[in-house]
Amino acid sequence: MICFTTTEQALHAPAHEFFRGQRVPCFENPARARFVEDALRVHGHALRPPTVDSAPLLGEVHAPRYLDFLRTAWDQWLALDAANADVQPFPSVWPVRTLRSDVEPANFVARLGLYSMDNGSPMAAGTWAAAKAGADAAASAAHALQAGERAAFCATRPPGHHAGPDFMGGYCFINNAAVCAQALRTGGAARVAVLDVDYHHGNGTQAIFYERADVLFCSIHGDPRTEYPFYLGHADETGAGAGQGFNLNLPLPARASVAAWFDALEQACARIGRHGADALVVSLGLDTFAGDPISTFALQAVDFRRLGERLEQLGLPTAFVLEGGYAAAELGQNAAAVLAGFES
């Protein structure tokens, strides 16, 4: 399978984040991609850099002023004080409910809060370069499918599915799965399906396509009443306007069984089949693994292979986009297991 990787991913390397009120080393770090790349090589997959510039697509997925902020955020941070080169910026105020979000504040931290859904997306000097390269890989995967490839995999980071039209969150800055889906649509696919199998609901992807009928979004995830991102991902969210009926959420309780997870997968696959999609984008979160430090599902390597086998049965050109998965040492083998199942 063609696998896209980027050297730029290593440039996004913030030192710490906040988890349950404590300052801890970042769960989402460059080692994740290295483990995946190593496993792909062992299993004989060809690794290559992106071949397509995603810039023309980004404005189809994200708001221009958000992209402008993201592109220049680190320079803005340094402009406040050169010593900020050694300090990670975090938002401390957000425009919730009755507060206004239409006027961009002059204060940098306030702007950071305007474009953040949480304080869980620590930035570094190379954040924009890494995120943009990941989007390039997603666009390249779409191009590969359009050129006749059966499947392609984006082994990139940071992940993307929590990034919405005009906000970052959950380690995500640019929504790679949405970029890939939009690239497929722009390239001629009449209908695209996005299947998100990350433990955490892909709230950003849902928000981007919620009022569209051309891109079906299906997600299997932890119940948002107890699991991040908490405020989206309920079963009654089925789309709006033209998109009514084109959003399927399948939330599962914490510590749900593997059997329950695969029952949900069958529901998602059935809905994808009815959609009549020309291509499939898989937000491949691997934090459903039993050993993941911030999740509670119990999938094992054999289950990831089974996932790949089931997705192959859909008979669609398929782009896999790496999302979460924070048991870094096992991440590569779990990713390789999905691809092996798909190619079996």
Cα–Cα distance for residue pair 192/22, rounded to 1 Å: 40
**The pLDDT value given to residue 238:** 98
Write out the two tokens for 298. 């119990």
Q: For residue range 134-180, what is the model confidence (pLDDT) as tens digits? A: 999 999 999 999 999 999 999 999 999 999 999 999 999 999 999 99
pLDDT in the model for residue 150? 98
- Catalytic entry in 162, 200, 201, 221: 162
Per-residue pLDDT, 300: 96
Check if 162 is active-site.
Answer: yes
How high is the pLDDT of residue 169? Answer: 97
Q: Alpha-carbon torsion 36, 41, 43, 49, what sign?
A: positive
Task: Say what the pLDDT of residue 19 is.
Answer: 86
Q: Could you give all domains of the chain from N- to C-terminal order, each with its CATH number?
A: 2-343 (3.40.800.20)
pLDDT, residue 20, reads 83
Low-confidence stretches of the chain (pLDDT beneath 70): none
pLDDT for residue 240: 98
Q: Is the peptide bond before 317 cis (omega within 30 degrees of 0)?
A: no
pLDDT at 182: 98
- The residues with which 220 forms a beta bridge, in sequence order, are 250
Our CA angle for 235, 236, 240, nearest 5°, is 125
